[in-house]
């Protein structure tokens, strides 16, 4: 895909969703971190239902760190891997409260050292909270980037690196949310809504072209 087409794609996505943002509900950077940890292999909708109860009981790192694992489990038991996640968010809460007085550090390596936080979660925080020009590649973005030949790769890290390199600079900060929303609601895994796709004419999907040229 050539640079001109990439600019057109992001321009159209930006026009379609000018205020693209996460669908996770939160009222502080700490709450977003917890929500993103819980979102692994879970939908934002299910996470929001769980965090509504959890954050009502404990809205800060200090409050959450004082809860027992069993108590946290009762709030998030509808989410996949809830037992492991309950342990992780308590440990993370304790570390953040003890070392940063409840604030989220603007530091990738430190974020990735927290229980339950990997590169994707760290990227979400760095981008959403701090406005860093990084892209968190989840299943939706991985599928979309490969399907339309925006930035191909065999794994999320490869796609992330290519997207970061190839995305027009003026759209880099917004790229994560623009792509994830398009992948979630339009360019779906099964039965993508091509008839409603604002970038349909620019798509290089294998469904439309027998051979996809490398980026």
Say which of 138, 188, 201, 208 is annotated catalytic: 138
The answer to whether residue 45 is catalytic is: no
Decide if 107 is catalytic: no
Among 5, 77, 120, 188, the active-site one is 120
Query: What distance in Å separates the CA atoms of residue 25 and residue 47, rounded to the nearest whole number?
Result: 9
Catalytic positions are 120, 138
């Amino acid at each position: 895909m050539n640079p001109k087409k990439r600019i057109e794609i992001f321009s159209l996505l930006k026009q379609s969703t000018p205020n693209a943002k996460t669908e996770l509900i939160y009222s502080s950077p700490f709450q977003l971190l917890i929500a993103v940890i819980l979102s692994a292999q879970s939908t934002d909708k299910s996470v929001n239902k769980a965090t509504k109860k959890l954050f009502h009981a404990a809205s800060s790192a200090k409050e959450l760190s004082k809860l027992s694992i069993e108590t946290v489990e009762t709030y998030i038991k509808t989410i996949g891997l809830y037992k492991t996640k309950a342990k992780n968010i308590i440990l993370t809460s304790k570390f953040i409260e003890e070392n940063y007085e409840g604030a989220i550090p603007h530091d990738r390596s430190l974020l990735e050292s927290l229980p339950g936080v990997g590169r994707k979660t760290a990227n979400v925080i760095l981008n959403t909270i701090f406005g860093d020009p990084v892209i968190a590649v989840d299943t939706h973005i991985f599928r979309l980037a490969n399907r339309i030949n925006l930035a191909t790769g065999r794994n999320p890290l490869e796609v992330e690196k290519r997207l970061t390199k190839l995305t027009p600079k003026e759209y880099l900060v917004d790229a994560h949310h623009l792509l994830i929303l398009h992948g979630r609601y339009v360019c779906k895994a099964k039965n993508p809504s091509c008839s409603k796709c604002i970038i349909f004419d620019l798509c290089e999907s294998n469904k439309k072209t027998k051979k996809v040229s490398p980026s």
